[in-house]
Amino acid sequence: MKRLVSYTIGVLILFLFITSDASDLLEKLPQELGINPLVLPIAITSFVFLLGLPGLINSLRVYLGAPKRRERDVSYDQHPLSAAAQAIVDQLTPLGFTRLGETATDLPGHPGQITWYFMSADGTITTEVVSLAMLGKERGIVQFTTVFSDESVLETSYPIGDNLDYPDFYSRKNDESVAAAYEMHRRTAGELQIKHGAPRTVKSMTELLSWAALHRERHVRRKLRPPLMTQLKLSGWFLYTIGYMVVASIIMSQPGETSDAAALVIAVGAVLIIVLGLLVLKGTPILKFKEK
């Protein structure tokens, strides 16, 4: 989330630089230094791109390694809930959920990530709770999961997530409350069991971990794709912008008047920067992974 915010701020700053009089503030400095006026924008854009590059690499590592990554049962350690996770659990308890156990997962950049698991009274809904740093603040995240008799899966997350639909995998997001997410999950599960059969029960960590391994192999990359694609598109936008400014600076540094063709290339390139940037910020699917 921090990386996405950093990229978004960078995009907005660059838009202001290109489309407003903000660039006037930096015009005099290149002239006094005797350098191309696009050197500073190139440097700023490159800095923002490099700022987000480690995060992109980390996300790619998480995505590529997801099917083979395994959780470890560490229920015997009885890890105390963080304040953010406890706030979520306090809302789960009145809904009839009881603690099932906890796991540790080694993620790139986050070794030993703890996840707390809870189950509904009838065992047809398992719930995982994690505590993540979002915008400098610890936030509790909850996900309700139901596995149907044909091994199709429904997940409902609060307060972040994605709405995804595959023939055997459904993901829903609810940003209202834990109770609202739970009710949404129950309602959707009731609709889906007509097609996929009755929900399976999970009442032990052994059963949960057995299913979790299968889930990672089949479905986890589907959930990781949307945020990863956003990062890839933003990175591509920055690379295009940097390349455009490098080419424009080379054209502008040539002696004599700039030809009409060169001026057209510069103008069209600038328009594409704005159009592509707006498409990325709106989440328009410019690129897609091929479903496997």
* pLDDT score for 185: 96
Determine which of 82-86, 94-98, 199-203, 208-212 has the lowest per-residue pLDDT on average.
208-212
Instruction: State the distance between the two ends of the chain, measured CA to CA, in whole angstroms.
Output: 27
Q: Give 114's strand partners.
A: 104
| pLDDT beyond 80 at 184 | yes
Helix (H) or strand (E) holding 27: helix 24-33
Can you list the pairs that 118-125 forms with residues at least 24 positions away whose Cβ atoms lie under 8 Å? 118/89, 118/92, 119/202, 119/203, 120/95, 120/96, 121/96, 122/201, 123/201, 123/202, 123/203, 124/189, 124/199, 124/200, 124/201, 124/202, 125/185, 125/186, 125/189, 125/199
Residue 270 Ramachandran class (φ > 0 left, ψ -120 to 50 alpha, else beta):
alpha
Confidence of residue 122 (pLDDT cuts 50, 70, 90): very high
Confidence of residue 89 (pLDDT cuts 50, 70, 90): very high
Higher pLDDT, 70 or 138: 138
Task: Output the pTM of the full model.
Answer: 0.69
* pLDDT score for 292: 42
Q: Where are the domains positioned within the chain?
A: 2-65+227-246+253-282, 72-203
Alpha carbon 70 to its chain centroid, in Å, reads: 20
Identity of the residue numbered 125: I
How many Å apart are CA 139 and CA 91, to the nearest integer? 14
What residue has token string 């395994």?
A: 70
* pLDDT score for 269: 78
Higher pLDDT, 113 or 28: 113
Segment 190-198 shows an average pLDDT of 93
Q: What percent of the chain has pLDDT over 90?
A: 32
Pick the closest to residue 201 from 144, 129, 142, 120 (CA basis). Answer: 120
CB 82 within 8 A of CB 131: yes
